[in-house]
């Protein structure tokens, strides 16, 4: 593969459609960058798989994107970031960003009390990756983590502001509320869609950190620093690869992306 060039695309990948919230944030923050998205929709979700399987699948996807000559890799899936980010970095000649590191940095920057809450899928929470990332930045911060396994299916059902979803959020956040935290990291790419409801449930108790916005800022800084920002001011090229096109893929994908998905190409790894 070639070295990173400013005209090359940013490669973003996820186990499914969730990472499109990261693409959405990148499109808004970096409107001249070409973006290639890869969603492993045939094998989603990763959150219930073993470490060995997740590492293997992650490497396959990173290899696929490197073969497309991307100038930067963004791991938009919290599960892959938790389990396999180090392995991807080791083998990568281009910068690798991941949502966990981005969310941890943003939370560490924002907290005043030093008490940070993290919500995510069971695999992300069990991996303890957010706590490790936050403690690498600042060992004295307290991190309280809470798995919210029903949030992803609720978002995919479209119940983003349904009474059931509020009830589930209240149940999951009850133990978080008794900890004295002032910053809550949305540690799953599906959760930005729940943000209005979560803002309502958490009220003024805490600030929410959206990893998708955080990683878009981080990508912008890094491209500027390394002279890798695309100088071309035209309409960028967006490509979307998936390993399966399931029922309602277009609908759900567009809900995450907040706009038309365009052409989706099917590939197998």
- Per the annotation, where are the binding residues for substrate? 14-15, 46-47, 78-79, 189-190
Nearer to its own copies, 109 or 162 (CB): 162
Asked if 258 is part of the footprint of its own copies (rule: CB under 8 A), the reply reads no
Asked if 189 is part of the footprint of its own copies (rule: CB under 8 A), the reply reads no
Asked if 41 is part of the footprint of its own copies (rule: CB under 8 A), the reply reads yes
Site for its own copies in 71-100 (CB under 8 A): none
3-state SS of 155-204 is HHCCCCCCHHHHHHHHHHHHHHHHCCCCEEEECCCCHHHHHHHHHHHHHH
Crossing angle of helices 51-66/78-90, nearest 10°?
Answer: 60
In contact, 206 and 3? CB cutoff 8 Å: no
Q: Kindly tell me which residue out of 1, 91, 137, 164 binds its own copies, with binding defined by CB under 8 A.
A: 164
Could you tell me if residue 203 is left (phi over 0), alpha (psi between -120 and 50 degrees) or otherwise beta?
A: left
Q: Kindly tell me which residue out of 196, 246, 251, 269 binds its own copies, with binding defined by CB under 8 A.
A: 246
Q: Kindly tell me which residue out of 2, 31, 32, 48 binds its own copies, with binding defined by CB under 8 A.
A: 48
Q: Kindly tell me which residue out of 60, 244, 254, 264 binds its own copies, with binding defined by CB under 8 A.
A: 244
Cα 245 from Cα 251, distance rounded (Å): 11
Cβ contacts of 262 within 8 Å, gap of 6 or more: 238, 240
Q: Kindly tell me which residue out of 4, 6, 144, 150 binds its own copies, with binding defined by CB under 8 A.
A: 150
Stretch that binds its own copies, among 68-76, 131-139, 154-162, 217-225 (CB under 8 A): 154-162
Cα 36 from Cα 74, distance rounded (Å): 10
Cα 17 from Cα 9, distance rounded (Å): 19
One symbol per residue from 198 to 237: x for binding its own copies (CB under 8 A), - otherwise; what is it?
----------------------------------------
End-to-end CA distance of the chain: 18
Please tell me what DSSP assigns to residue 258: S
Query: What residues act catalytically?
Result: 77, 188
Nearer to its own copies, 56 or 232 (CB): 56
Q: Where along the sequence are the contacts to its own copies (CB under 8 A)?
A: 41-45, 48-50, 53, 122-123, 126, 149-150, 152-154, 156-157, 159, 163-164, 167-168, 171, 244-248
């Amino acid at each position: 593969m070639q070295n990173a060039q400013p005209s090359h695309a940013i490669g973003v990948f996820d186990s499914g459609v969730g990472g499109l919230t990261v693409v959405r944030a990148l499109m808004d923050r970096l409107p001249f960058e070409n973006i290639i998205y890869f969603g492993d929709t045939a094998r989603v979700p990763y959150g219930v798989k073993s470490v060995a399987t997740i590492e293997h699948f992650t490497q396959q996807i990173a290899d696929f994107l490197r073969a497309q000559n991307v100038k930067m890799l963004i791991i938009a899936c919290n599960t892959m970031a938790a389990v396999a980010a180090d392995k991807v970095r080791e083998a990568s000649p281009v910068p690798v960003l991941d949502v966990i590191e981005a969310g941890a940095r943003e939370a560490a920057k924002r907290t005043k009390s030093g008490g940070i809450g993290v919500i995510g899928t069971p695999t992300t929470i069990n991996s303890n990756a957010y706590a490790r990332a936050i403690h690498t930045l600042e060992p004295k911060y307290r991190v309280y983590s809470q798995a919210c396994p029903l949030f992803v299916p609720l978002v995919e059902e479209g119940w983003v502001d349904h009474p059931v979803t509020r009830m589930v959020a209240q149940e999951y956040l009850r133990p978080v509320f008794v900890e004295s935290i002032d910053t809550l990291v949305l540690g799953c790419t599906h959760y930005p869609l729940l943000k209005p409801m979560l803002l309502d449930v958490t009220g003024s108790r805490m600030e929410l950190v959206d990893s998708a916005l955080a990683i878009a800022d981080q990508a912008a800084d890094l491209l500027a620093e390394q002279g890798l920002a695309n100088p071309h001011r035209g309409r960028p090229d967006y490509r979307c690869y998936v390993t399966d096109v399931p029922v309602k893929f277009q609908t759900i994908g567009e809900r995450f992306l907040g706009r038309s998905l365009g052409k989706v190409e099917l590939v197998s790894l």
